[in-house]
Structure 1
Amino acid sequence: MRITQINALHMHAARQVGVGLCLCLASAYASAHGAHHQGPTASAMSTPATAPASPPPFIASTAKPFAELMSDAMAVMDYGMQQAPMNGQSEHDFITMMMPHHQGAVDMARAVLLYTKDPEIRNLALGIITEQQNEIHVMQAWLEHHPNGLGK
């Protein structure tokens, strides 16, 4: 392998670890603050319920402390996942829930960019933004080609 290929593999592995770290930190933060994500249940998918109030859109700004930005990002992500249109097709339901999940990672990465000067964290956050946005585009394209969720 060439050095550039090895470096690319290392960067990819570092980003994957970073995504896991972000998710672990977000989960720990949510647990510490009493927030627990619960996806839609079968009964929630079949019977309309009163929808929770929509949180305001996520805006990354130094007007709020970092912890509050993370809480905002989690609230928007959880709401998006809970409101994802589900039709019982695993492929469709996976995609519709993963899009707000990935957007949550983008929002958290944007938040940390406002508060860190650490070059490794900045590089990781920029990579997360790029990769997660690309994956969101792939998922949107998949939904356009499979509106009913049938992956066949």
Structure 2
Amino acid sequence: MPYMLSAITRLTVTAFALAVLSIPIAAFAAGPAGASAEEAPFLLENDKAMTTMMDEMSIKPTGDVDHDFVAMMVPHHQGAIDMAQAELRYGHNEQLRRIAQEIVVEQQQEIIAMRLALGQPLPLPAPAPDQQRGPDSNPASASPMSHNNMQMNIRKEP
């Protein structure tokens, strides 16, 4: 119990952090007075990512520092992934979109590394939300360039 704070101290720190963070989060979620209709979906998605991240980072300490660290960092990293994916969906700046792609990859790798370090099971592989197909789509027939439809024309030169 060397790292555990008293219940009153934890509540005070948590309440202060939430009070400090809730003002900018609420202001960002509401958007600036001149926020466009185009920006509204991004702001909503980003607010959802932030809210989910903050909720899931609030853990009950287990007495295992390593476990608690991973339990808080995984939702933190997932929040960064979710926000980066919102940039990829709605952003226009190519430099920022490349950075967002890097964030997705790097944060996923760190989540995997932390879970492996603790011997925790890894999440099942899944496509990014923008890459998911409908239930009736067949990946093999989705494109004329799919593996099943490709032909190689190899000619030997005389």
Q: Give me the whole-angstrom Cα distance separating, in 2, the residues matched to 1:33 and 1:80.
A: 16
Q: What is the match of residue 101 of structure 1?
A: 76
Count of residue pairs the alignment pairs up? 91
CA RMSD across the alignment: 2.7
Higher helix proportion: 1
Q: Unpaired segments of 5 or more residues in structure 2?
A: 1-19, 28-37, 121-158
Counterpart code for 1:73:
A
Kindly name which structure, 1 or 2, has the bigger radius of gyration based on alpha carbons: 2
Q: What is the match of residue 44 of structure 1?
A: none
For 1:8-40, what per-residue CA distance to the aligned partner results, in whole angstroms no more than 9, with x for missing partners? xxxxxxxxxxxxxxxxxxxx98532449xxxxx
**Aligned with 1:77 (options 36, 50, 53):** 53
Q: Give me the whole-angstrom Cα distance separating, in 1, the residues matched to 2:93 and 2:101.
A: 12
- The secondary structure found in structure 2 opposite 1:65 is helix
Q: What is the match of residue 32 of structure 2?
A: none
Task: Calculate the TM-score normalised by the size of structure 2.
Answer: 0.51
Counterpart code for 2:61:
M
Task: Calculate the TM-score normalised by the size of structure 1.
Answer: 0.52
Larger RCO: 1 or 2 (CA < 8 Å, sep 6+): 1
Counterpart code for 2:106:
E
